[in-house]
Each structure stands twice: as structure tokens, then as C-alpha cells.
Amino acid sequence: MLYAILCYHDEDTVGSWTKEQDAAVMKKLAVVQDKLTKQGRLGPVARLLPTTSATTLRKDDPPLVIDGPYAETKEQLLGFYVIDCKNLDEALDVARDLGAANPGGAYEIRPVGVLNPGSIKP
Amino acid sequence: MTDTAWIDAALTSARPQAVGALLRYFRNLDTAEEAFQNACLRALKSWPQNGPPRDPAAWLIMVGRNVAIDDIRRNRKQEPLPEDEAISDLDDAEEALAERLDGSHYRDDILRLLFICCHPDLPATQQIALALRIVSGLTVKQIARAFLVTEAAMEQRITRAKARVADADVPFETPGAVERTERLSAVAAMIYLIFNEGYSASGDTVEIRAPLCEEAIRLARLLLRLFQSEPEIMGLTALLMLQHARAAARFDAEGALVLLDDQDRSLWNQKMIAEGLALIDKAMRHRQSGPYQIQAAIAALHARAAKPEDTDWTQIDLLYGALEIMQPSPVVTLNRAVAVSKVRGPEAALEMIEPLASRLSNYFHFFGVRGAFLMQLGRNEEARVAFDRAIALANTSAEAAHIRMHLDRLMRDSQPQGAKAGK
């Protein structure tokens, strides 16, 4: 069984770390990731840029683009994609295509700051 | 992190919202600040034992308000603080209070708090000092250090600014849309000033002034989180990040200024650049251009160039052209001329800046840039005169040292090349 682990933390706190503190945390996490990689158990890992860089596409008809992160609480996180795009417009185009295939709910689009593609072969 | 570091971080990040709400209750800055201070003292006592509250800002507002009201009731008799138990049912009340602190209120609370620091009667330096004291919660000592003045002088500056703000009569009603936009633009300008204070530091002071840049970025992010659909606030935040991303490359080991073309680009903070680029990208989608967005777009073109010669100067020229229309200023034209010199050569650039001479006759950069164009044209004698004038007008020792470097090169070059350089 594959499991996704979703990371939550207070953005203000993480954002106020110094470069050194941030690097120290990333280094400790890398140790855990390396162990999993060696065991062939690590899939993609992504660190997202802050929510201020987020855009949300409400999958209404027509779809509605809203600045900022997804703020509602009545829907739940059900999955995610990592896609390669030149800019936000391209990412929104992909989200619109996905939304047309599966209407209802919303997509939050966030730039990825760090990506480790992992080595897992399901 | 140590035991108390998380409390400090929580207090700092809750501060604008908490002081803003307390200001709305008490309509007096000193009372609001004192109430917040008292709430912080209690937090330091209570949080290590009981753990952090679910909503630190709500907790601080609640406690700060209760303590202040108690103080007022006791007519400010000098008595010790009441025991924590005497503050009514903190935990039960917290939830209800948090609900009353609805989003629309706290947005305007923070905006008001920032806005009172931007009073037009206050000179820029006082606006910044006041914002750093009230909104960011830096100590007078820290601010004095960043401004390179004594603590006593800074104390006086802040006291004076506060007195003026107290007389200013800031309305406490929820602002209308037009008023909110005006406040937002005044606050954005103030944040930009804070950044510039840090950014214009010279090599020997950069270490103690750089925190001003970081604080400005923190405030810009705060503003952006409150006003998520304002392209100019996205532009401002992007601009600050893209400029600050180059911080490590801007000075050499001796503290001398390193110009963009000569910077070691591997020292640029790529993470900050990525975030700045994402933000400007997001802003552009609104198709509502503005000065911060344009400046951020220019900074983005520099950030995207892996080598100086990869820089898209044609696009930069166009962007400065747009900025000139939006915000006509000889300084913008001067910056545009640098792009023009790269696209169409120094002759065209020099022609462009000649009409600015009278208005920029006391401006360091004008003579630095003019000298550089003249030097490129081989008009070394005129270049030397311009550089001499620039040194006389330099604001920091780093600026002067940088021009002296040009002069030295000129002296070296002009001896063997003097004859063929003349036209």
C-alpha cells in the first residue's frame, strides 16, 4: 500500500526560521529520506512555497480563479498532482482540463520550492 | 529551537493583530501597547506550563483587554497584577472570542495599525521608526541600532511621532472601499521605505541594517495574506524578495559595493527568487499594471539571467518606459538610460540623460552613470570630471570607493589609449 504524508505547520513559524535553522531541519529530514530511498520506499517529496503564492481554481461552471490558498473547510484533501509548467497560466490550463473531467470542488495551485522525485516503482 | 523561542515567535507573529484589536477597543495607542505588554508577560508565565493556546492572538487580545479594564477600574492605583485565576475563564472564553474576531475585522485592525504610522505629517524616518516599534515590536534599542543613532535620540523620535499620531484622529469605523485602497497604498509605500533603509546600507553597516529588509518582507507578506487579490501588493512583495535575494552578492569581503554585472550569481538566494517569480507571475494575470509590479518585473528579468550577458535589456528598457509614464521621475529615466546603453549604445543613453542634468545636479548616481557612459565613449576627460563630482556627492563610503575604482581604471587606461580614444 502506498501512503501519502501531508505536512502541516504554522507558516509564520517556519517562515521565521533563519537560513541556518531551515537548513538544519532540511538536513535532519534528508537523513530520514535517505533511509527510505535506500530501501526503495520513497516516492516524490515536495516542499511548497508559502500560501501567499497560491492560486485556487473553483471547479464551478465556468471555473473561477481566486487568489490565495483554498480556505473552505467543508471539502477534504483527496489527492494531488505535480506538473511541469512554464508559468501559472499553464498550470491553470491543466487545472481547468482536470476540472472539466471531474467537476465540483476546487484545486489549489502552489509552486513547488524543492522536489525530490523519489525512486518508488509501484 | 529552545524552550522560549517558540513563545517569542508566537508573540511576534500575533502582535500586529493583537495590538490592532486592542487599539480598536481602547482607541489609544499607549493603552493598547501597554495592554499587549501585560498580556505578553502573562503568556510568558502561562504558556510554558499550559502549552500554546489554540489561537495565540485571540488569547493575547482577551487577556490584554481584561487586564487593561481591571487597571482602568482600579483607577490606575499601583497594585500588583491580579492572579491569573482572577482573569475570568480564559479557556471557555477563548473560543467565543476567536469567533467574534472575524476575518473582516482583523484585516482592518492590522491595516489601521500600519496606517497610523503613515501619517503624512511624519517624515519618512519617523514613519518607519514608529512602524518598527508599534507593528513589528522591535525594541527602541534595536531600532536605534539599525538607524545608527543613539537610543536616547531614537526614543525621542518615536515619542514625538507618537504624539503627532495621537493628535491625528484616525477614524475607527470600518473603512470604505476607496479609503481602504488609499490606506493600502500608503502602507505599501511605508513598507517599501523600511526595505530601502536596509537596502541602502553600505558594506560596513549592512549586517546591522539587513534585518530591516527582512522585517519589510515579513510585513509585505502579512499585508498580502490580508489582501490576497491586490496585484500591487503581490508586486511589492515580489520586488522586495527579488532584490533581497541578491543580498549576499552585493558586497565583497572588504565591504565594497559589487554592481549587478559583477555579482557572483551563485550567491543569489534561489529560494527567494523562486517565490518572487511565482508572485510576479500571479500578479501579472490581473492585467492591472502598477509601479511595484513593473519594478518587480524588471528585478525578475535580472533574476532570470544566469549570466549578465543573458539579461533581456530590450524588455527592461520597455518596462522602464512604462514606469516613466506611470511615475515620471528623472531617476526612472536615469535607470532606463542604463538599459538603453546596453541596447542602443552609450551615445543614445547619454543623449537621454543630458536633459536631466539640472534636476539631478546633486544626485550621486547621475554622475556615476554619466561618467560610465562617457568612459565607454572614450571621452575620458569628461568622464573624470563626472566621477569627481560623483565622489563629492557619495552618500556612503562604499559608493565613493566604487567610483574611485572607475577613476583608477580610467587613469590606467587613459595613458596608453588617450590618443586613439579622442574622436
Question: What pLDDT is stored for residue B102 in this prediction?
Answer: 45
- Among B101, B131, B146, residue at a domain's last position: B101
Tell whether ipTM is more than 0.95: no
Residues of A in contact with B274 (CB under 8 A): 49, 111, 113
How many Cα atoms within 13 Å fall on the side-chain side of residue B174? 7
Is 70 exceeded by the pLDDT of residue A122? no
Q: Tell me the shortest Cα–Cα distance from A1 to chain B, in angstroms.
A: 33
- Do the Cβ atoms of A16 and B13 come within 8 Å? yes
- Do the Cβ atoms of B221 and A21 come within 8 Å? no
B96 Cβ under 8 Å from any chain A Cβ: no
Using CA atoms of B154, B155, B156, B160 in order, give the dihedral in degrees to the nearest 10.
Answer: 100
A66 Cβ under 8 Å from any chain B Cβ: yes
Asked if B267 and B248 touch (Cβ cutoff 8 Å), the reply is: yes
CB–CB contacts below 8 A, A to B: 52
Is 90 exceeded by the pLDDT of residue A22? no
> pLDDT above 70 covers what percent of chain B?
89
Residues of A in contact with B281 (CB under 8 A): 87-88
Separation between Cα atoms, residue B84 and residue B90, nearest integer Å = 9
Question: What pLDDT is stored for residue B112 in this prediction?
Answer: 87
Separation between Cα atoms, residue B150 and residue B130, nearest integer Å = 16
* Phi, psi angles (nearest 5°) of residue A112: -90, 125
DSSP letter at B251 equals B
Looking at the domain assignment, is residue B257 inside a domain? no
Helix or strand holding residue B418 (H, E): helix B397-421
**Within 10 A of A114 (CB to CB), how many other CB atoms are there?**
12
Question: Of the segments B53-57, B113-117, B308-312, which one has the largest average pLDDT value?
Answer: B308-312
Looking at the domain assignment, is residue B20 inside a domain? yes
Separation between Cα atoms, residue B251 and residue B239, nearest integer Å = 20
Of the partner residues B229, B237, B281, the one whose CB lies closest to the CB of residue A87 = B281
Separation between Cα atoms, residue B371 and residue A88, nearest integer Å = 42
Separation between Cα atoms, residue B244 and residue B240, nearest integer Å = 6
User: What is the number of residues in chain B?
Assistant: 423
A68 Cβ under 8 Å from any chain B Cβ: yes
Is 90 exceeded by the pLDDT of residue B99? no
Separation between Cα atoms, residue A59 and residue B31, nearest integer Å = 47
Residues of B in contact with A50 (CB under 8 A): 221, 275
Question: What pLDDT is stored for residue B104 in this prediction?
Answer: 55
Helix or strand holding residue B105 (H, E): helix B103-116
Residues of B in contact with A12 (CB under 8 A): 9, 13
- Cα-based distances in Å from B64 to A30, A56, B99, B374: 42, 36, 17, 63
Smallest CA-to-CA distance from B170 within B157, B192, B155, B187 is with B187
State the pairing for strand pair A55-58/A106-109.
Answer: antiparallel
Report residue B414's pLDDT band, with 50, 70 and 90 as the boundaries.
low
- Mind listing the pLDDT tens digit for each residue in B389-401? 999 998 877 788 8
- Do the Cβ atoms of B13 and A51 come within 8 Å? no
Of the partner residues B9, B218, B282, the one whose CB lies closest to the CB of residue A55 = B282
CA A90-B294-B284 angle, to 5 degrees, is 25
Report residue B311's pLDDT band, with 50, 70 and 90 as the boundaries.
very high
> pLDDT above 70 covers what percent of chain A?
99
Asked if B61 and B22 touch (Cβ cutoff 8 Å), the reply is: yes
* Domain tally, chain B: 2
Domains and CATH numbers, chain A: 11-116 (3.30.70)
Of the partner residues B13, B229, B275, the one whose CB lies closest to the CB of residue A50 = B275
With b for 16 or more beta-carbon neighbours within 10 A and e for fewer, the B387-410 pattern comes to bebbbebbebebbbbbbeebbeeb
Is 90 exceeded by the pLDDT of residue B379? yes
How high is the mean pLDDT of chain B?
A: 86
A88 Cβ under 8 Å from any chain B Cβ: yes
Looking at the domain assignment, is residue B69 inside a domain? yes
Looking at the domain assignment, is residue B10 inside a domain? yes
Report residue B423's pLDDT band, with 50, 70 and 90 as the boundaries.
very low
Separation between Cα atoms, residue A27 and residue B40, nearest integer Å = 33
Is 90 exceeded by the pLDDT of residue B165? no
B282 Cβ under 8 Å from any chain A Cβ: yes
Question: Of the segments B50-59, B160-169, B225-234, which one has the largest average pLDDT value?
Answer: B225-234
Is 50 exceeded by the pLDDT of residue B117? yes
Span between the terminal Cα atoms of chain B, in Å: 66
Closest-approach residue (CA) in chain B for A111: B278
Helix axis angle for B380-393 and B364-376, nearest 10°, is: 160
B2 Cβ under 8 Å from any chain A Cβ: no
Report residue B140's pLDDT band, with 50, 70 and 90 as the boundaries.
very high
B275 Cβ under 8 Å from any chain A Cβ: yes
Of the partner residues B13, B228, B274, the one whose CB lies closest to the CB of residue A49 = B274
Is 50 exceeded by the pLDDT of residue B25? yes
Looking at the domain assignment, is residue B411 inside a domain? yes
How many Cα atoms within 13 Å fall on the side-chain side of residue B315? 14
- Do the Cβ atoms of A113 and B229 come within 8 Å? no
Question: What pLDDT is stored for residue B393 in this prediction?
Answer: 92
Predicted structure pTM score: 0.85
- Among B101, B127, B158, residue at a domain's last position: B101
Separation between Cα atoms, residue B65 and residue B373, nearest integer Å = 62
Residues of A in contact with B10 (CB under 8 A): 13
Question: Of the segments B6-10, B110-114, B302-306, B399-403, which one has the largest average pLDDT value?
Answer: B302-306
B225 Cβ under 8 Å from any chain A Cβ: yes
Closest-approach residue (CA) in chain B for A52: B225
- Do the Cβ atoms of A111 and B237 come within 8 Å? no
- Mind listing the pLDDT tens digit for each residue in B184-241? 989 999 999 899 888 877 777 777 788 889 989 999 999 999 899 999 999 999 999 9
How high is the mean pLDDT of chain A?
A: 89
The secondary structure of B24-86, three-state, reads: HHHCCHHHHHHHHHHHHHHHHHHHHHHCCCCCHHHHHHHHHHHHHHHHHHCCCCCCCCCCHHH
Looking at the domain assignment, is residue B74 inside a domain? yes
Separation between Cα atoms, residue A30 and residue A45, nearest integer Å = 11
Is 70 exceeded by the pLDDT of residue B418? no
- Among B77, B101, B125, residue at a domain's last position: B101
Residues of B in contact with A66 (CB under 8 A): 229
Question: What pLDDT is stored for residue B35 in this prediction?
Answer: 94
Question: What pLDDT is stored for residue B88 in this prediction?
Answer: 46
Asked if B271 and B300 touch (Cβ cutoff 8 Å), the reply is: no
> pLDDT above 90 covers what percent of chain B?
51
Is 60 exceeded by the pLDDT of residue B276? yes
Closest-approach residue (CA) in chain B for A15: B218
Question: What pLDDT is stored for residue B391 in this prediction?
Answer: 93
> What range does the domain containing B405 cover?
362-423
Question: What pLDDT is stored for residue B398 in this prediction?
Answer: 78
Question: What pLDDT is stored for residue A82 in this prediction?
Answer: 93
Closest-approach residue (CA) in chain B for A24: B1
Of the partner residues A16, A53, A68, the one whose CB lies closest to the CB of residue B279 = A53
Residues of A in contact with B279 (CB under 8 A): 52-53
Separation between Cα atoms, residue A74 and residue A96, nearest integer Å = 21
For testing the chain B interface, which of A13, A51, A53, A114 should be mutated: the one with the most B CBs within 10 Å? A53
- Do the Cβ atoms of B275 and A89 come within 8 Å? no
Cell numbers 530520514: residue: A32
Looking at the domain assignment, is residue B348 inside a domain? no
- Mind listing the pLDDT tens digit for each residue in A28-54? 999 999 999 999 999 999 999 999 999
**Mean pLDDT across B139-154:** 89
Residues of B in contact with A67 (CB under 8 A): 228-229, 234, 282
Residues of B in contact with A89 (CB under 8 A): 285
Looking at the domain assignment, is residue B386 inside a domain? yes
